[in-house]
Every structure is written in structure tokens, then in C-alpha cells.
Amino acid sequence: MPKPPAPTSRWSHLTHPHPTNRRHFHISSPTQLNHNNRRLSITAIDAAQPFDYEALVSNQYAQSNRLKIAIVGFGNFGQFLAKAFIRQGHIVFAHSRTDYSHIANSLGVSFFQDPHDLCEQHPDVIVLCTSIISTEPVLRSLPIQRLKRNTLFVDVLSVKEFPKNIFLHVLPTHFDILCTHPMFGPESGKDSWKDLAFVFDKVRIGEGESRKSRVDRFLDIFEKEGCRMVPMTCAEHDRYAAGSQFITHTMGRLLEKLDLETTPINTKGYETLLNLVENTASDSFDLYYGLFMYNKNAMEQLERLDLAFEALKKELFGHLHEVLRRQLFGNVEEAGKRRVLAKLPKNGYALPAPSSDAVKSQNN
């Protein structure tokens, strides 16, 4: 009966003993070992296969959260937002009067010169990134009849009641409306959006989980970037913005008229003023004009600024009057107590009239 073949094992590279001398073994060289092991080396770990359920579910989840976002007005701010949208995996279209197709291609954005072609892409969201004064004509120029009936319209203007009223007046009721204001721009947000305020007002969102989910997914873009999300009505926003943003731009442009220059002895405060001038001067005058023209609270703030300047001059000249009296008369008579405004009166109130005692002391 023939003898069965010897079983092979992982030690098969060790040859059988020499038939004439069982003490002699032949051991494979390192080169042969490496050659044998190379056939068993792992070339990929956890590669996604067609049957890989984990990768399939992950891809389906990413697809379900992806939005098709159309940016109308692809200037500096539109490009600034597009980078974040692309970074988070959304599909971005763009339209503008100026041909930005080269820049759009470099960012991974599909650019459409014709608004009809843009609307035929049926975006989920349309973001208006126009100037304040051109918002209404641009909105009216869009062929909204080519859009899906529940498309979400978003504005990012620095005033809020103005675009809200335009949207409500121009857009049919089957369109959703979200008014927002990112309180930052390409300069202040160039490094990070962390802790920068993002104000929003869900003006009109239709019934249905899909529409509510869509607006939440859009807002989630800014939350993922680290923004401080601030839900606020459009009226509240404009009241706060007039006392902060409009005043900031006004002071920056006022200082710009003085032609401030850096010096060898700059203080931290002066450096802050120079930075303020630089930041506000980089914005167009149309933006500043829009902050004034389309925010009903701006005129009141301008009047308060004028009152504050007059009050400060009176305080300075009142103090100068006392100094001159002392120089002229010495200590012969006690100088009248100068009038100091402890606090500026509230909006819309004139400066209080001087007391009768103060008038007598000034007339003497």
C-alpha cells in the first residue's frame, strides 16, 4: 500500500532531513522568506466593498443631508460663503451679473450667467448675497416660476426688516423665507467663524417635516463652523444693529475723513482706531448707505451722535471758561461750579435746560 504524502505546514520552508545524514537541515535564505511572506502581505485595511453596509449607510446619510444651494450675487461675500458650503459637502450653484465662472470653477461651484439656467437646477435654497439697494430688483428679475414651489429663500443683508418685507411682498406664499445676518465678513471671519454671531429669523416656513428639516440643515452649516446662533426677530435686530453696526461704520468713516496715519508712538487705543478705519473703509459706500437708508433706527442714532458731540464740546468749553476765570481773577471769587452731563438723555430727548443758578453764575 503506498505511503500517504507528508502534510505541509507553515514550516515547509525547512526541508526534510538529508536521507544519508539526519543531522543536516537546509534553511531557506532571508530573500526566499521575504518572497514567500510578500504573497501574504495586507495591501488594504477596511476597504469599502459593494457589500460594505457601514460605508453604504454613511454615504446615504451624507447624501440625505446634502443641500443644493444657489448663491445669487457671487461677489466677495458670496464667494466667502460658498467656501464653507463646499467644505461641508453641499452642492453650490452661483449667478451674478459679472462673469465669475473662473473663480467659481476653482472653488468647485457651478456658475450660470443666465438666471433661467440657474433656476432650472431646482436648488433647495436660494441665498441672496446682493447689496441692500439692489435686493428688490434682483429678486424680481429671477424666474421664480421655474423653481420648486417650496424653495427656501434666504437673505444675508445687514438690515432685516427691509428684506423681510420685500420677500413677503414679492414671493408667493408657497415659498419659505429665512432672514439671516452673519455678523462677520471675509475679513473678520477669514481665520475662523468660532463664536461669531449669526442672527436668524424663520419668517415663513411651511408645514411638513422635510421643509422644517431643510431650514435646520441650512442653519446647521453655520453652527458646525462654530458660530454663536442667535434667534431674533427682524425688528429686534434692526434696533440693536442701529446702535452697534451703524455707529461703528459711522465712526470708522468719520475717522477716515481725518486721514489718520500710523506713528512711531502708537498706543493700543490708537491701533484699534486704525483697525476700525481699515475694516470699515474696505466695505462699499453702498453698504453704509443701506445701513442708514433701510434701517428706520439709523436716523435716531445719527441725531444722538450729534447731541453727544455737542454735549462733549459744551463740557470742554465750560471747563475752559473756569480756567480763564481763575487766570483773570485768581482766588478773588470762587469759580462757579461747571455743569457736567452725567449721562446722555435717552433717544429722542433734547438736552436738559441749564438750571437757574447755573445761568446766574454764568451771567455774573
pLDDT attached to residue 326: 82
pLDDT attached to residue 355: 57
Max Cα–Cα distance, the chain, nearest Å:
144
CATH 3.40.50.720 in the chain is located at 64-232
3-class SS at 173?
coil
C-beta separation of 222 from 67 below 8 A: no
Residue 291: HSE in the Cβ half-sphere, 13 Å Cα cutoff: 23
pLDDT tens-digit readout, 74-126: 999 999 999 999 999 999 999 999 999 999 999 999 999 999 999 999 999 99
pLDDT tens-digit readout, 133-142: 999 999 999 9
pLDDT attached to residue 24: 52
Q: pTM for the whole thing?
A: 0.71
Cα Rg for the chain, rounded, in angstroms? Answer: 36
**Residue scoring higher pLDDT (158 or 352):** 158
Q: Is the dihedral of CA 191, 193, 199, 200 positive or negative?
A: positive
pLDDT exceeds cutoff 80 at 11? no
Separation in Å, CA 104 to CA 110, 111, 126: 6, 6, 16
**Residue scoring higher pLDDT (131 or 44):** 131
Residue range 64-232, CATH number: 3.40.50.720
pLDDT attached to residue 323: 83
Q: For 198-212, 301-315, 335-349, which range has the lowest pLDDT when averaged over its residues?
A: 335-349
C-alpha closest to that of 247 among 208, 304, 162, 329: 304
C-beta separation of 330 from 340 below 8 A: no
Average pLDDT over the chain, rounded to whole?
A: 85
pLDDT tens-digit readout, 267-325: 999 999 999 999 888 888 998 999 999 999 999 999 999 999 999 999 999 888 888 87
Q: How many CB atoms lie within 10 A of CB 237?
A: 25
Q: How many CB atoms lie within 10 A of CB 130?
A: 22
C-alpha cell at 205: 416656513
Question: Beta partners for 67?
Answer: none
DSSP string, 247-309: HHHHHHHHHHHTT----TT--HHHHHHHHHHHHHHTS-HHHHHHHHHT-TTHHHHHHHHHHHH
Question: Beta partners for 70?
Answer: 93, 126
